[in-house]
């Protein structure tokens, strides 16, 4: 997975608290950077949705909405790709054990849709052991 910065790229490394304003501020800066590098509307939508799902999962499932816990966030955005890392303070999980939300027996179960959307919209997705760190890369066509 790339994510190596070069001159002129946008990069950010920050720690987010379980506060909606922190998440919205990061999403706003990412959106501004995507617009700066002239990502198309559909690309911006895909990246922002995957980012929102990743951050939501980290706070809700990883940190169990514990206000004492934080999420580490890293991003690098260039004209060619957008790279993100999201790491929570939870014990981790095995993404392969999450039921497929599109199978008939799971259609009514709300879990797993965020992971499915992330995988659908990003070029590369990797959960690092023990499963509390997510790496996502969107490579422009």
Domains of the chain (ranges; CATH) run 10-139 (3.30.565.10)
Q: Cα separation of 110 and 42, whole Å? A: 25
Average pLDDT over residues 92-104: 76
Give the per-residue pLDDT at 53: 93
Work out the pLDDT band at 114, boundaries 50, 70, 90: confident
- DSSP structure string for 41-83: HHHHHHHHHHHHHHHHHIIIIISTT-TT-EEEEEEEE-SSEEE
- Name the pTM for this structure: 0.89
Average pLDDT, the chain: 90
pLDDT > 80? residue 85 = yes
């Amino acid at each position: 997975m790339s994510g190596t910065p070069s001159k002129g790229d946008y990069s950010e490394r920050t720690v987010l608290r379980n506060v909606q304003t922190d998440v919205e501020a990061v999403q706003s800066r990412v959106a501004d950077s995507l617009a700066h590098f002239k990502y198309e509307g559909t690309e911006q939508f895909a990246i922002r949705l995957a980012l929102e799902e990743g951050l939501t999962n980290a706070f809700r499932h990883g940190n169990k909405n514990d206000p004492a816990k934080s999420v580490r966030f890293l991003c690098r955005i260039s004209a060619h790709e957008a790279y993100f890392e999201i790491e929570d303070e939870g014990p981790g999980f095995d993404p392969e054990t999450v039921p497929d939300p599109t199978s008939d027996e799971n259609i009514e179960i709300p879990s797993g849709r965020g992971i499915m959307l992330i995988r659908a919209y990003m070029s590369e997705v990797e959960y690092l052991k023990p499963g509390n760190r997510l790496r996502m890369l969107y490579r422009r066509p």
